Structure 1
Amino acid sequence: MRLTFDFLSNGGELGALMRAKDWSTTPLGPPEHWPTLLKSTIRLILTSRHPMFLWWGGELVQFYNDAYRLTMGPERHPCALGQRGRDCWEEIWPIIGPQIETVMAGGGSTWHEDQLVPVTRHGKREDVWWTYGYSPIEDHDGVHGVLVVCNDVTAQHNAKAALERMNLALTEQIAQREQAQRLEAIQTGQRLRAEQALREQREAETTRLRSLFEQAHGFMCILRGPEHVFEFANSAYLRLVGERPLIGKSVREALPDIVGQGFFELLDAVYASGKPYKAGDLRIELRTTPDSGPVQAYIDFVYQPIIEDGSVSGIFVQGFDVTDRTMGRQALQRSELRLKEGMKVARMVVWDWDLASNEVLFSDNAPELFGENWTDMRSLWDFLDPADLQRMELARSEAIKSNGSYGEVVRLRRPDNGQTVWLQVYATVVPDEAGNARCIRGVSIDVSARKRAEESLREAGRHKDEFLAMLSHELRNPLAPIRSAAHLLAMAPDNASRVKMSSVIIERQVNHMTSLINDLLDVSRVNTGLVVLDKQPIDLHQVVLESVEQTQPLISERGHTLSLDVPGEGEVAVWGDRKRLVQVLTNLLHNAAKYTQPGGRIMLEISHHADTVELHVRDNGIGLDAMLMPHIFDLFTQEKRSSDRSQGGLGLGLALVRSLVSLHGGHVTAASPGPGEGATFSVYLQKHAAPGGAGGSGRGPRHHEGEGLRLMLVDDNKDAANAMAMVLESAGHVVMVEHDPHRALESVGSFGPDACLLDIGLPGMDGNELARRLRASTHARGATLIAVTGYGNKYDKASAVQAGFDHYFVKPANTAELIGVLARIKPVASANQAMPAEAGAHG
């Protein structure tokens, strides 16, 4: 993974101007095409606080930084950026032109101190003295530009000249006075001259030192006395503390905003002990203005005691503002951390393989992905699929020949658990100075999920192709007898018996085709959301009668015995569409009759408890294979349940059953001991509570004394959730099932649970986070939270309790213990006392 870095980032005003400028109109073209040498030099200029300037290329295209901008004046800034050098500096070209040409011609660097270079700025021509140097920007192809590092020393020059004039005038006055006094007292004159000379020497030394301090890149100050009174502070120090007045004030008076940060105490300790103190990367918070908030900076500094006559008279403070360096390092550390976290999320491992020693260095997350952290590449090969290893070795050999790159997908068997991991490997050969392959650097990405998805797509395509072939077969089959019947009618139109027989054949086959097409249309309408249920209270007794009436001919034809164990008329009602419920039950009975050998037994059983109704259709037919069970209700999954196609049909009935039951807010399951052992198909629906009538209470948010608790069950495994819901409902509790944690948060307000049973490993939001949000909500703050999870190690009890859970069960949960815990929970008083009776309990 290659990181990119914007060399024009930050850089203050000039950085912004460079980023905004359309460089495509200049000789340099767009920045992304600039030479690396130019980019690096511009980055150096933008990050420096010292005045710096760059001429680049034969046209001497110009760049500079914020510090240099302060020396230019409005006549040239900002138009000088990107301008040709001669066009910008025509007035001083006779001075600087030859110097630039010398550097560009390979004549090396130049250095000029206190050089007079008059320039026009702020509307007038000024005599400006500069200390500057011209340095070549070059590589193996020669000199490409000139880097200017400069200082405007006009103020220092003028001060020095004034001081010299002052000293000269003073010397003349002293000389005149000495001449006048010489006649009076030669010794006095000599003494005065000696004192004056000493004083001048000290003043010169002080002036020279202060001038050097002013020009220093780092900050400096001199503190006198035990109160640390400012005697001197250079410009860099003033910039650090916000240009506030310092001279003559103690540090505590001048810098009250650093109280409590330890600096005053350090100064006191250095003054008392006479020992210097040095620190690096120390954080300091200062206010740049009295009304501004504190600004954080980082400094390297030294407190050096000033020893005079054997005792400490003050402290010399010297240091550097290293904020940019420290912040850059911290940013780099954060970037490395983000990279590590990103690699972990992307399941990506970076590695470096030394070809000479076979030593390999993996990134820290290798054990998580590989199950091991090898140090020798040959040890890893033992865990690769041999065919994949051979293919990758061929690709690697070709890449080594050309110092190129290669990529392969390989299978790795994890040594810790034996699982197979699919890895996408990308690698590139890194040569040495002689061009020979020295090492290989690469990245391995876990693409197991992608491989599984590809396999699922191929499997779905295969099922679809099989279904289409079967559909073609089933639709063609009725055409042959219809055609034959048509021929019979044409051959003997007056033969009444043949006409009757042909009509029966045609009608039967047309009915068969109509049934096939209706099944297809029903599945299509359900899957596209075109089916709208006409819901109303439906007596299940009537649904049973209609379904049995429709399937009785087939049951009788095959000699089956049908047993019914169903409620009487008016005993159990559901909220649903009568036609569609009849269609569901008819399909299940028809399916049982079709896949049970002649003379078999079929049982229809309906039971109800709490607010759930269960419909079970059992047979002693050919049963179900375990491989078929996960796909029994899927579209495009037509598996043989018998050794031939004698039963016909498209196999859409069960897919349609599942879709229609889901539209009613219920679910359907299939179970079988195995081939030849029969099968049971079960439908679970919400019971409808008719006002004042029979049928028991509907599943709603109401809670009456003696009816158990209101429980919210959240688990993304639908079968596990529904099975648990049945257990809890059989214990007399009202259960709402949700499979998505976000849906659970949306539903909790209207449901008002007494207790919530939460899986931990939920999609999009884990159970611990869901528990914290439920605890923070007004509707579930007082509810009892129970964790029911299969993660016994990773999501331990301590984490769950910390998240707000009251109880913790590891799957498979002990049902008796769970029901016992629920029996000890008191219902939570809910302000929400009503909910539509038809609302689904299973989300």
Structure 2
Amino acid sequence: MTFDFLSNGGELGALMRARDWSATPLGPPEQWPTLLKSTIRLILTSSHPMFLWWGKDLVQFYNDAYRHTMGPERHPSALGGCGRVCWEEIWPIIGPQIDLVMNGGGSTWHEDQLVPVTRHGKREDVWWTYGYSPIEDHDGVHGVLVVCNDVTAQHKAKAALERMNLALTEQITQREHAQRHEAIQTSQRLRAEQALREQREAETMRLRQLFEQAHGFICILRGPQHVFEFANSAYLRLVGHRALIGKTVREALPDVVGQGFVDLLDGVYGGGVPYKTGDQGIELRHAPDSAPTHAYVDFVYQPILENGMVSGIFVQGFDVTDRTMARQALQRSELRLKEGLKVARMVVWDWDLDSNEVVFSDNAPELFGAAWTNMRQVWHCFDPGDLKRIELARREALQSHGSYGDVVRLRRPDNGQVVWLQVYGTVVADQAGNARCIRGVSIDVSARKRAEESLREAARHKDEFLAMLSHELRNPLAPIRSAAHLLGMAPDNISRVKMSSVIIERQVNHMTSLINDLLDVSRVNTGLVVLDKEVIDLHQVVLESVEQTQPLISERGHELCLDVPAEGVVAVLGDRKRLVQVLTNLLHNAAKYTPRGGRIALEVSHHADTVELHVRDNGIGVEAVLMPHIFDLFTQEKRSSDRSQGGLGLGLALVRSLVLLHGGHVTAASPGPGEGATFSVYLQKHALAGAAGAASRGAGSHAGEGLRLMLVDDNKDAANAMAMVLESAGHVVMVEHDPLHALDSVGSFAPDACLLDIGLPGMDGNELARRLRASTHARAATLIAVTGYGNKYDKASAVQAGFDHYFVKPANTAELIGVLSRIKPVPRTRQSAQLAERIEG
């Protein structure tokens, strides 16, 4: 059977694939832990000798590079065997080192360590340089990875070098002694010197042979410029088989200059003190124009002494790139796991069911507010109801050896904050089928729970608003219907007609106010409101707002107190109509929610660059729980059973939006229920310059005779009702229901103004306006749109078509009549005047 992580790997890969692992404690390879698979894959793909002890039985794995150091006594029987049995003869040496790593003591490193072994039928003294590294994850250490080198040859070479140095020293001493007796021992000295040279050459040759056979890289550098005297094959492989002998390090290896190695050589040569290091990064170019390759090396710089002086440096080391890259890969994997858990606000844990001990990932204190080690500590922080529910789910999972999950509330012990956790747990059983632990994750879903609660709250507000809207829109229909019946029953009864008209007007105004509030909120929230800004005297804004709310204030018997600067003192840059709407809403709100006979105060103050408007009342006040939402859409104080206040809860939301559009802000304050409330608006102050603001608006009223008005509307009832209103104001009105008929009649009627519906059949009001503007009989007439379309795009289209004024149905008749009063009659010829007189007659 072939498995991905056992693919290739040379002889050992084939042996691992061929072995029946199901009979071992590890079981079939497909069930092996991911960490074990990854480590074995790393070993099999490495050309460096590597060995692995795994689990409590220290099951053994190794690669082809390692098998050459074992001998036939252990290879291939060591594969899958127990470490203590396989290495019984050296266990007193390596056993404590392995236990140290397995017990969490970290990595170990041993250089030039004598560990004698039996191989090829005989006991050998073998020197090793090796490191033990833990193979671990968040559950702990599961195995020990060995990266080693047989440095016996290097050890012997070094010992031989030391012997050679000692011999050289002794020979030099002998030579100096001989020189003192040179007169009588010349021939003997010459022979000694010749023997010494021969001995030195022989020793040097033997050393070179030993160095060449060494697995690690070796070179000898001479003189203060570090000239290459010798470099073995391993060193040449490391630097790309360059020509080195006779060149200085700076000449032969220019790419390492600046990486610190030459500086270290200078230090060792000058100070005579050895230098060694591990996992040192180095960048090398195997060709002048090639990209640099990155490697890691362990090395020693050993000074060579002659006559007590440093004459060169012996360099010896190992290419440990595979080992270092493997360790770095494990570190990166652990870091990614930690970062992922932190970003996902997820904690992983293992719960030992026998001891009740629990091990959490490192980010648990950040999420839970505590570093627990026992599951009972966790239970104390759970919501009791949630704890019972999840315990029931866990018991069912334990019976079936399955999984469970639920959402629970946990109160952090550090700050008391409630955290919502999505908990998942899976029961893990031993080989005998007994549940031993539960492995799981806990995910912080507090943000999701808060969002769900916000959606539920918004839905509740929406339902309350829809119920309120249906009530408020139905209320006026009953009196309107009754008034219509009265008009039909007694059309000649003047008093009844007037009473019915008053009822209908009042109820229509109420419905119009409701609809306008809805449209205003929609326009503001969708960004369709564009402010028509000008410099405005706040004194005029206050007067208009008080004028609009005075009827309600008087009706409820309130006392209104004003503390307002005189005209021409305080100004702001804003939309006059919208600021009047803001202040009117606040005064209207105060009047509605203040019991009869209450007191309302309006105060306007100003500072260097700020204007403040405060509306205070001694009404029903605002509950603390409502205060944070007072400016939200559809938010209202509780109503009385008769719903006498009315409204849709839109006014304050509209106030806040309009004030924000003016670059200001609005606040609310109340001591509590029954203690009244204060609403404050803060705007940026603007300097008044001469007679600005409302004083420059519009032309004077026309107080002369009535106008000739052409009214075009396909709704006959609406057209006839509007005609009666306009005629009662003293105007002559011609009514048309078809736009083509209107074009035919305009020449004979010669109107001063035309009131046109936009939504006409066959030809819309905009097209009719364009044609009227093009005709000789209505070119100078004032065009007024009276339509049910109310957004800014419809108004812009109407202005483009030639309209002078724009009213949204139902039009405010007082405002419409006011506009008509300022229109001057169109000058006309005597013939057109006679035609008009005949029509009027």
Instruction: Provide TM-score, normalisation by structure 2.
Output: 0.54
Q: Which of residues 413, 418, 421 in structure 1 aligns to 2:419?
A: 421
Q: Which of residues 453, 459, 462 in structure 2 aligns to 1:461?
A: 459
Q: Which residue of 2 aligns with 1:280?
A: 278
- Give the superposition deviation at 1:630: 0.9
Q: 1:303 to 1:675 in 2, by over 3 A?
A: closer
C-alpha contact (below 8 Å) 1:252/1:259 kept by paired residues: no
Return the alpha-carbon distance in structure 2 between the equivalents of residues 421 and 49 of structure 1: 50
**1:381 and 2:383 equivalent?**
no
Q: Work out the percentage of aligned pairs sharing the same amino acid.
A: 80
Q: 1:640 to 1:318 in 2, by over 3 A?
A: same
Q: 2:389 corresponds to which letter in structure 1? A: R
Q: 1:508 to 1:430 in 2, by over 3 A?
A: same
Q: Which residue of 2 aligns with 1:678?
A: 676
C-alpha contact (below 8 Å) 1:668/1:684 kept by paired residues: yes
Q: Deviations over 1:177-218 (max 9, x none)?
A: xxxxxxxxxxxxxxxxxxxxx9xx9999899868755xx5x4
Return the alpha-carbon distance in structure 1 between the equivalents of residues 265 and 203 of structure 2: 31
Q: 1:279 to 1:556 in 2, by over 3 A?
A: closer
C-alpha contact (below 8 Å) 1:412/1:423 kept by paired residues: yes
- Give the superposition deviation at 1:368: 2.7
**1:574 and 2:572 equivalent?**
yes
Return the alpha-carbon distance in structure 2 between the equivalents of residues 203 and 445 of structure 1: 69
- Give the superposition deviation at 1:289: 5.0
Q: 1:489 to 1:366 in 2, by over 3 A?
A: same
Q: Deviations over 1:742-790 (max 9, x none)?
A: xxxxxxxxxxxxxxxxxxxxxxxxxxxxxxxxxxxxxxxxxxxxxxxxx
Q: Deviations over 1:778-813 (max 9, x none)?
A: xxxxxxxxxxxxxxxxxxxxxxxxxxxxxxxxxxxx
C-alpha contact (below 8 Å) 1:463/1:638 kept by paired residues: no
Q: Deviations over 1:641-699 (max 9, x none)?
A: 5565111111211111111111111111111121111111111111112357999xxxx
Q: Which residue of 2 aligns with 1:613?
A: 611
Q: Which residue of 2 aligns with 1:690?
A: 688
- Give the superposition deviation at 1:560: 1.3
C-alpha contact (below 8 Å) 1:222/1:232 kept by paired residues: yes
Q: Deviations over 1:142-174 (max 9, x none)?
A: xxxxxxxxxxxxxxxxxxxxxxxxxxxxxxxxx
Q: Deviations over 1:110-154 (max 9, x none)?
A: xxxxxxxxxxxxxxxxxxxxxxxxxxxxxxxxxxxxxxxxxxxxx
C-alpha contact (below 8 Å) 2:42/2:326 kept by paired residues: no
C-alpha contact (below 8 Å) 1:571/1:694 kept by paired residues: no
C-alpha contact (below 8 Å) 1:661/1:667 kept by paired residues: yes
Q: Secondary structure at the match of 1:687?
A: strand
Using the TM superposition, name which of 660-669 and 37-46 deviates more: 37-46
**1:508 and 2:510 equivalent?**
no
Q: Which residue of 2 aligns with 1:370?
A: 368
- Give the superposition deviation at 1:633: 0.9
Alignment of 1:229-378 (within 5 A): 230=228, 232-249=230-247, 254-255=252-253, 257=257, 259-263=261-265, 265-266=267-268, 279-284=277-282, 286=284, 288=286, 297-301=295-299, 317-378=315-376
Q: Secondary structure at the match of 1:427?
A: strand
Q: 1:623 to 1:252 in 2, by over 3 A?
A: closer
Q: 1:569 corresponds to which letter in structure 2? A: E
Return the alpha-carbon distance in structure 2 between the equivalents of residues 670 and 243 of structure 1: 83
Return the alpha-carbon distance in structure 2 between the equivalents of residues 646 and 383 of structure 1: 49
Q: Deviations over 1:516-556 (max 9, x none)?
A: 11111111111111111110011111111111111111111
Q: Which residue of 1 aligns with 2:448?
A: 450
Return the alpha-carbon distance in structure 2 between the equivalents of residues 362 and 41 of structure 1: 27
Return the alpha-carbon distance in structure 2 between the equivalents of residues 543 and 313 of structure 1: 100
Alignment of 1:483-494 (within 5 A): 483-494=481-492
Q: 1:229 to 1:580 in 2, by over 3 A?
A: closer
Structure having the higher Rg = 2
Q: 1:402 to 1:312 in 2, by over 3 A?
A: farther
Q: Deviations over 1:544-574 (max 9, x none)?
A: 1111111111111111111111111111111
- Give the superposition deviation at 1:406: 2.4
Q: 1:203 to 1:673 in 2, by over 3 A?
A: closer
Q: Which residue of 1 aligns with 2:399?
A: 401
Q: Which of residues 542, 552, 555 in structure 2 aligns to 1:554?
A: 552
Return the alpha-carbon distance in structure 1 between the equivalents of residues 265 and 401 of structure 2: 57
Q: 1:333 to 1:350 in 2, by over 3 A?
A: same
Q: 1:484 to 1:212 in 2, by over 3 A?
A: same
C-alpha contact (below 8 Å) 2:667/2:681 kept by paired residues: yes
Q: Secondary structure at the match of 2:686?
A: coil
Q: Which residue of 2 aligns with 1:536?
A: 534
Using the TM superposition, name which of 359-368 and 230-239 deviates more: 230-239
Return the alpha-carbon distance in structure 1 between the equivalents of residues 331 and 642 of structure 2: 68
Q: Which residue of 2 aligns with 1:734?
A: none
Q: Structure 1 regions of 5+ residues with no counterpart?
A: 1-5, 12-34, 51-102, 104-197, 696-843
Alignment of 1:432-451 (within 5 A): 432-451=430-449
Q: Secondary structure at the match of 1:384?
A: coil
Q: 1:219 to 1:491 in 2, by over 3 A?
A: same
Return the alpha-carbon distance in structure 1 between the equivalents of residues 584 and 226 of structure 2: 99
Q: 1:372 to 1:280 in 2, by over 3 A?
A: same
C-alpha contact (below 8 Å) 1:277/1:302 kept by paired residues: yes
- Give the superposition deviation at 1:408: 1.7
Q: Secondary structure at the match of 1:262?
A: helix
Q: Deviations over 1:43-86 (max 9, x none)?
A: 76766589xxxxxxxxxxxxxxxxxxxxxxxxxxxxxxxxxxxx
Q: Secondary structure at the match of 2:427?
A: strand
Q: 1:671 to 1:204 in 2, by over 3 A?
A: closer
Q: Deviations over 1:13-52 (max 9, x none)?
A: xxxxxxxxxxxxxxxxxxxxxx9999998876766589xx
Q: 1:692 to 1:509 in 2, by over 3 A?
A: closer
Q: Which residue of 1 aligns with 2:515?
A: 517
Return the alpha-carbon distance in structure 1 between the equivalents of residues 225 and 659 of structure 2: 87
Return the alpha-carbon distance in structure 1 between the equivalents of residues 232 and 226 of structure 2: 16
Q: 1:507 corresponds to which letter in structure 2? A: E
Q: Secondary structure at the match of 2:611?
A: strand
Q: Which of residues 591, 594, 616 in structure 2 aligns to 1:593?
A: 591
Q: Which residue of 2 aligns with 1:159?
A: none
C-alpha contact (below 8 Å) 2:570/2:688 kept by paired residues: no
C-alpha contact (below 8 Å) 1:7/1:40 kept by paired residues: no
- Give the superposition deviation at 1:326: 1.8
Q: 1:435 to 1:234 in 2, by over 3 A?
A: farther
Q: Which of residues 639, 662, 665 in structure 2 aligns to 1:664?
A: 662
- Give the superposition deviation at 1:587: 1.0
Q: 1:305 to 1:533 in 2, by over 3 A?
A: closer
Return the alpha-carbon distance in structure 2 between the equivalents of residues 225 and 385 of structure 1: 78
Q: Structure 2 regions of 5+ residues with no counterpart?
A: 10-32, 50-75, 77-198, 694-841
Q: 1:519 corresponds to which letter in structure 2? A: D
Q: Which residue of 2 aligns with 1:775?
A: none
- Give the superposition deviation at 1:364: 2.6
Q: Secondary structure at the match of 1:503?
A: helix
Q: 1:351 corresponds to which letter in structure 2? A: W
Instruction: Provide TM-score, normalisation by structure 1.
Output: 0.54
Return the alpha-carbon distance in structure 2 between the equivalents of residues 40 and 333 of structure 1: 13
Q: 1:265 to 1:206 in 2, by over 3 A?
A: closer
Using the TM superposition, name which of 416-425 and 596-605 deviates more: 416-425
Return the alpha-carbon distance in structure 2 between the equivalents of residues 253 and 595 of structure 1: 94
Q: 1:266 to 1:294 in 2, by over 3 A?
A: farther
Q: Which residue of 1 aligns with 2:623?
A: 625
Q: Which residue of 1 aligns with 2:563?
A: 565
- Give the superposition deviation at 1:242: 3.6
Q: 1:573 corresponds to which letter in structure 2? A: A
